[in-house]
Amino acid sequence: MNEKEYKESFGIDPENKSKVKKALEHALDIRKFEIELYWKRATYFWALIVVAFTGYFAILGAKDLAEKEYLAYIVSCIGFLFTWAWFLVNRGSKYYQENWENHVDMLEDVVTGPLYKTILHRSEQQDFIEKYVTGPKAISVSKTNQWVSLFTLFIWLALLVHTLPDFSLSLCPSIRHSFIALITIAFAMLMYRKGKSHQGSYVHIAEKRDTKIERTSNKERMTEQNCKTS
């Protein structure tokens, strides 16, 4: 779809604003909803990752726990997978948020003018603290969150390596450690490869059931009751 086809599909015409206005209102509402969902998802993953961190250090700090290094290794794999999922969800949320922001960019000119596309900012600051520390800066909140998730991912990798047994060429690799690692890598790849949204067309299948209520007369009901009692 090119720009001309896009404008025709939404009826973007300065003489007829009603359709464009409704489309713009929906785009703004859904964009706001996507932003709310973004932070709800972030809170959800933060909670899971904090629990994983707590479990990891609690296991290593336990005194009378058998094979605590192996158990901590499993928890670190879980934390790694949770953080990887968080990183992918951040990117997915950003994708759909930008989709609705782009709709707003295209639709707003006829209704409100280029309000969303116009940025008003301060003039250049001369004070060093104000310019580089306390003053405003065009920094993406969502991108910063993505960097935090990526940093946390590498922290989990470091913790995972810390719990691995000492490597030696004379010893065979641990089968159970290798098994957990393969499962973690497999699910991480499945999230990336099979977790993508379907971008093609859909063919819907609809099925409808027929239900009926059969009405019986009082005479028929009395006959049935008499047959049951006799």
Confidence at residue 7, expressed as pLDDT on a 0 to 100 scale: 78
Number of domains observed in the structure of the chain: 1
pLDDT at 156: 95
Return the structure tokens found at 10.
């939404």
pLDDT (tens place) for every residue of the chain, 230 residues total: 787 887 777 777 766 678 888 888 999 999 999 999 999 999 999 999 999 999 999 999 988 888 889 999 999 999 999 999 999 999 999 999 999 999 999 888 888 888 888 888 888 777 888 888 888 888 888 899 999 999 999 999 999 998 887 765 556 678 888 899 999 999 999 998 888 887 777 787 888 888 888 776 666 666 666 666 65
pLDDT confidence of residue 150: 95
Give the closest residue to 146 by CA, choosing from 41, 74, 33, 76: 41
Structure-token pair, residue 172: 């065979």
Look at residue 217 in the predicted model and tell me its pLDDT.
66
Full domain range(s) for residue 24? 3-229
pTM for this one?
0.78
In whole angstroms, give the CA distance from residue 106 to residue 100.
Answer: 10
Closest CA to 38 of 110, 99, 128: 99
Collect all residues with Cβ–Cβ distance below 8 Å to 3 and sequence separation of at least 6.
Answer: none
